[in-house]
Amino acid sequence: MKETAVLVSPAAYADAVTSAVEAAAAYYSDGTTPLGDDEYDALVRAIEAYELAHPDDALPDSPTGKVAGGAVVGDVPHSVPMLSLDNVFSAEELTAWAAGLERRLGQPVRGWCVEPKLDGLAVAARYREGRLVRLITRGDGLAGEDITHAADAVLGLPAVLTEPVDIEVRGEVLLTQEQFEQANRIRIEHGATAFANPRNGAAGTLRAKDRPYRIELTFFAYGAHAEAHDAEHGKSSEHGEDGTADLGRLDHSELLARLSQLGANTAASTPAHPLRCEELSQVRTRIEEIAALRASLPFGIDGIVVKADSAADQERAGSGSRAPRWAVAYKLPAVHKVTRLLAVEWNVGRTGVIAPRAVLEPVVVDGVTVTYATLHNPADITRRGLLIGDQVFVHRAGDVIPRVEAPLVEQRTGAEQPIVFPEVCPRCNDEIDTSQQRWRCVRGRGCQAVASVRYAVGRDQLDVEGLGGTRAVQLVEAGLVTDLADLFTLTRDQLLALDRMGDTSADNLLAAIETARSRPLNRVFCALGVRGTGRAMSRRIAAHFGSMAAIRAADAQALAEVDGIGAEKAAVIVAELAELAPVLDRLAAQGVGIAVTTPPVTTPAAATEGTEGADGTDGTDVEAAAPLAGEAVVVTGSMTGPLAVLSRNEMNELIERAGGKASSSVSRRTTLLVAGEKAGSKRAKAEELGVRILAPEEFADLVADLML
């Protein structure tokens, strides 16, 4: 289904209605629809357009006319219909929607609440005197299915509230990313198929009975109404006339706070927390912020919900049969898409790890065409039960590498083929070490010496000019270089013996290598290409330990003290350093990376005590040595002036040399934002939080003494 589809005939319209109804039914039952969210929305828009042009032909079961919800109608009537939300897809549509609402109210909206649209399943949880008595799915919005049996496994949905109130709490049940992965591990162990994505997993888990295993889910509350005692028979009071839950006529943001006080989980505990905004411009900024957070959130969101916050506005605006008029969903592009797994490639990485990669039928996910996706390791393939030719769900969000989630087992045709695992290293044909989850060529880094050397001499590592391209291949093929330590023992004669290497090139290369000999510890460490450490982590490790000897002496426990290193990563780093011991010994013998770096001054208290500055001076003028002491600095946009030549890594190094802490995202802890040209949402967020903002030129003045 193309985004721009126009339905030209009554037959095409009828087909579209049938497809949409079937897709919705599957979606609301077990989520097996191969129609992605984007395609479904496009289909409904095409149906809407047709109905607008041919109002008399509208079919009674059209998805536009009824409370969305689908075919699984349960037998527990809802006390108040469980409505859906209308959608907008752009800032312009949001503005138009808000203007419509204000026209209806006859006055400006008295405050908005902006919150994440959680990608799970809507449920209603009935509490009697503070005890959970029933959990019901949305069903068709008028009646739902009793799923009280599943309540125990839902975190954030307490069996007993903190007060003995009669209340119906409504919200979304989902699997967090962690719960989804855990669920699939458990299912495979029990011989069941993996869930295709978290939403399907939540749907399947909520409705399942008598499973021999338990899968944990998470609840987020986003609404409630007070319940009369006989609510189960259809009587209720939306605004709590009985007063027991004390919901009165709370504004939406107050209601959320009250729910959390009663013990229900809300999105307030997450970075995408609901925010009250006075103006629509703030709403737009908050939408951008939540959208930017999407990839890093521990659970899926498929949009952002904008609600009129005031109870009076809500009451006045009222609701249609399908959706309230006081709230709207700002939809984000789908991040889960279905496509076909065409093949699996096996690539040997810099460290000799043999990583499988899925080759996919190209599919657009969140505006980007995805052709490859990560499969992590062979065990991961087995765990997901994938076959070549399978229809698979692919996930991609933000800058995260696309990943294959799971196959749609029910779509199999029988023509699918098993995935063949390599028996020897696909690069050098040597053996494979399969003792760990990640398979590795027994030659380790040696299998990919060119890639290791190229990485080591890169701009943010040793920065050796003239070694990035074919020279590295030449040196490795000539047997002169197998790792980065070999670079420092190259002789002029050896170089001159190479093809296309004249006196000048040889001298330039030797001079560049000589300069690299005195690179600071963080860069030498980064050049090693230790698994699990990049530029930022290398800076933190160097600052924490101060010398290569201290890093090598550290055990896993000591490494885990570094910000961002957990137990698992610490163990990998220890193992990597043990493996790199011969290279490290030779580097030390060559005087590379042996300098002791005093950790920079980071606190004003240390400064007044006259601690040695980062430059090794006696520290009498620490203000000049550490102008950013105590500052948490974020850089955004493109740099101009003297900073224009610096890469982002070099900017971060500069900040840390100046005693500051460099970070990539703006938070309440941020004290300074360096905002260059085209600074976007980070600048807006810094402004909102009242963070000091400097132009690149002003910042350059501040740290002028430290710019090398």
Q: Which residues lie near ligand IVH (CB under 6 A)?
A: 83-85, 115, 117-118, 122, 172, 222-223, 305, 324, 327, 329
- Residue 170: count of CB within 10 angstroms of its CB: 20
Which tokens go with 240?
């709590």
- Torsion angle of the four alpha carbons 400, 404, 406, 411, in this order, in degrees rounded to the nearest 10: 130
Identified catalytic residue from 66, 117, 337, 661: 117
> Considering beta carbons, is residue 145 or 656 the nearer one to ligand IVH?
145
- Three-point CA angle 621, 624, 630, nearest 5°: 105
The dihedrals phi and psi of 235, each to the nearest 5 degrees, come to -95, 135
> Considering beta carbons, is residue 151 or 290 the nearer one to ligand IVH?
290
> Considering beta carbons, is residue 173 or 666 the nearer one to ligand IVH?
173
Q: Which long-range contacts (CB under 8 A, 24 or more apart) does 177-182 make?
A: 177/298, 177/299, 177/300, 178/298, 179/215, 179/216, 179/217, 179/218, 182/215, 182/216
**How many angstroms separate the CA atoms of 438 and 466, rounded?**
33
H/E stretch holding 109 reads none
Which tokens go with 372?
């490859």
Shortest Å distance, C-beta 323 to ligand IVH: 7
Q: Which residue has the tokens 């100046």?
A: 658
> Considering beta carbons, is residue 223 or 378 the nearer one to ligand IVH?
223
> Considering beta carbons, is residue 193 or 319 the nearer one to ligand IVH?
319
Cα dist from 555 to 263, 469, 476, 570, 573, whole Å: 42, 37, 33, 8, 9
Shortest Å distance, C-beta 101 to ligand IVH: 14
Active site residue 117: yes
> Considering beta carbons, is residue 215 or 329 the nearer one to ligand IVH?
329
CA end-to-end distance (rounded Å), the chain: 56
Shortest Å distance, C-beta 471 to ligand IVH: 55
> Considering beta carbons, is residue 329 or 516 the nearer one to ligand IVH?
329
**How many angstroms separate the CA atoms of 16 and 44, rounded?**
8
Number of DSSP helices (H) and strands (E) in the chain, helices first: 25, 23
Closest CA to 40 of 54, 30, 25, 50: 25
Q: Which residues share a beta bridge with 417?
A: 388
Q: Which residue is nearest to ligand IVH (CB)?
A: 122
Contact 638, 682 (CB under 8 A): no
CA-CA-CA-CA torsion sign (175, 179, 180, 183): negative
Active site residues: 117
